[in-house]
Amino acid sequence: MSPLKDRDAAAFLAMAALLAVAPFVAYPVFLMKALCFALFACAFNLLIGYVGLLSFGHAMFLGGSAYAAAHAAKVWGLPPELSLLFGTACSAALGLVVGALAIRRQGIYFAMITLGLAQMVYFVFLRSDFTGGENGIQAVPRGKLFGFIDLDGTMTMYFVVLAIFLAGFALIYRTIHSPFGEVLKAIREHEPRAISLGYDVDKYKLLAFVLSAALAGLAGSTKAIVFQLASLTDAHWTMSGDVVLITLLGGLGRVYGPVVGAFVIVALENYLSQFGAWITVIQGAIFVLCVLTFRQGIVGEIASLVDRARARPPPT
């Protein structure tokens, strides 16, 4: 193993260990919420951070998969593992359609198109019967995972969520560091060059988009099972804005960025929940601050501090 891989493996194990101890110190429900958002933001970061595509409509995958999983679990009575799978698959299918349309334009057009399509999906959910309109799908049963793990216990649920998050995170890490991921980065850096090297960039972009949609869907399905609720909030454009904020604050294109961002933002929303619209103002202010002063995000700034300290010659 190369030293770089050793360092990454150590970082991953440290994160896993920290999260395994966390529920004995912090409130597990809060942690589960943060983990769902962390996975959601990691999926989003795969696009913006490694392909350079800013999706402003990722709420449609979070919200859509939540409805699908909740419907499967409640109406069809499917066990949780199949409900999660169904939610993820629906999200991937939606991602295929949306992605095929959106990758026809680049840059800010891509952002506007995904935003528009997400708004369309939102209105479809608002009008459809199966989503329960303004009420959403409530009292979704958590059920028994694989027939024998009862998810009604908070701690059991927490460790299942943790396992899902770590699996999703590992998949994203693996993708980024695969030959496929290298091509994605080549497209981000210089698309015409990637084309001239013979890569079918549209195919790569679409595959990345579907993967991102599927993982966002896994996050949404998990969220629906954990909180036993699928509602319009998850599909609204403010949610698309939230995931951009989480990733920007944590660090665009940093593997751990979205995880850190998710914990900070979910904590912020928890503490500020009684202040209503002030949350919006503070979120907006964080956006402005991040864009103007620290575009690398928390993880990026820390990483460059560490690099600078390393680069400094030792005192003689």
Partner 1 sequence: MSIPPQALFGQLLIGLINGSFYALLSLGLAIIFGLLNVINFAHGALYTMGAFVAWFLLQYAGLGYWPALIIAPVVVGAFGVALERTMLKRLAKLDPLYGLLLTFGVALVIQGLFRIQFGSSGQPYEIPDALKGATNVGFMVLPNYRAWVIASSIAVCSVTWYVIERTKLGSYLRAATENPTLVRAFGINVPRLVTLTYGAGVGLAALAGVLAAPIYRVSPLMGADQIIVVFAVVVIGGMGSIFGSIFSGFALGLIEGLTKVFYPEASDTILFVLMAIVLVFKPAGLFGRAA
Amino acid at 84: L
Judged by CB under 8 A, the chain residues 1 through 60 that form the site for partner 1 are 54
Nearest approach, Cβ of residue 136 and partner 1 (Å): 19
Query: By C-alpha distance, which of 217, 223, 220 is closest to 157?
Result: 223
Residue 11: CA count within 13 A, CB half-sphere: 14
> Contact region for partner 1 (CB under 8 A) — 33-41, 82-90, 97-105, 210-218?
97-105
Q: Which is nearer to partner 1, 25 or 277 (CB)?
A: 277
Cα 300 from Cα 305, distance rounded (Å): 9
Find the binder of partner 1 among 7, 14, 27, 109 (CB under 8 A): 109
Nearest approach, Cβ of residue 292 and partner 1 (Å): 6
Q: Is 106 in the site for partner 1 (CB under 8 A)?
A: yes
Q: Is 276 in the site for partner 1 (CB under 8 A)?
A: yes
Judged by CB under 8 A, the chain residues 284 through 303 that form the site for partner 1 are 284-288, 290-292, 295
Q: Are 71 and 299 in contact (CB under 8 A)?
A: no
Total residues in contact with partner 1, by rule CB under 8 A: 41
Q: Give strand ranges (E) for 77-204.
A: 144-145, 149-150
Q: How far is CA 65 from CA 28, 48, 59, 61, 167, in A?
A: 23, 21, 10, 6, 18
Nearest approach, Cβ of residue 286 and partner 1 (Å): 7
Q: Is 244 in the site for partner 1 (CB under 8 A)?
A: yes
| DSSP result, 104-141 | TS-HHHHHHHHHHHHHHHHHHHHH-TTTTGGG-B-S--
Q: What residue ranges bind partner 1 (CB under 8 A)?
A: 54, 101-102, 104-109, 111-113, 115-117, 119-120, 123-124, 126-127, 237, 241, 244, 248, 276-281, 283-288, 290-292, 295
